[in-house]
Amino acid sequence: MTTVERPFEKIRRKMVAARIEFMGQLAKFSKDALSLYTAEGEWSPLQIAYHLYIADGLALEQMRLVQQEDNPLIANVAEQAPQATREAEPPASLDAVLAGMAARREELFEYLSALPDVAWERPFRHVEWGERKFYQLVNVLPFHDQQHAQQLAKMREM
């Protein structure tokens, strides 16, 4: 008998792997280097981590909207998250950012794990992406973590 893997288990594995990749890159920075900017207008590694925390929160809001409304037009988190990061107070400390990131991911996992399998097929609309399904929205999160892990790796090379 074959067991079918639930959508949550698939995405959880991807999200955990991508976050571990990001944290591994972040751990390569010294305490002093975490707050340094590599170029004018660029974020420090600590601000990038804070950005992931903010983006996860904004994404969770949009996920809830997709589950609560029929085929909603969702916000462009790719535009909102950087703006919200720039407008936010600088992160207090690495410990505060890491605690926030962990708590936010736990909140996401709790929400996603409670969804029935059929919920992962709910449609939504996006200004740039057009018509999509819920699982496609959720799959953006591990990709986002990987992008910023690569950004951190490039920063270390400079």
Q: What is the mean pLDDT of the chain?
A: 93
Q: Domains plus CATH for the chain?
A: 7-157 (1.20.120.450)
Q: How far apart are CA 149 and CA 147, in angstroms?
A: 5
* Residues 144 and 20 sit within 8 Å (Cβ to Cβ): no
Residue 133: strand, helix, or coil: strand
Q: How far apart are CA 47 and CA 4, in angstroms?
A: 39
Q: In percent, how much of the chain has pLDDT > 70? A: 98
Structure tokens of 103? 């708590």
More confident residue, 51 or 40: 51
* Residues 124 and 74 sit within 8 Å (Cβ to Cβ): yes
- pLDDT band for 37, please (50, 70, 90 cuts): confident
Residue 69: strand, helix, or coil: coil
DSSP state of 42: P
Q: How far apart are CA 131 and CA 65, in angstroms?
A: 15
pLDDT digits (tens, 9 = 90+) for 75-117: 999 889 999 998 988 888 999 999 999 999 999 999 999 999 9
Q: Is the pLDDT reported for residue 10 higher than 80?
A: yes
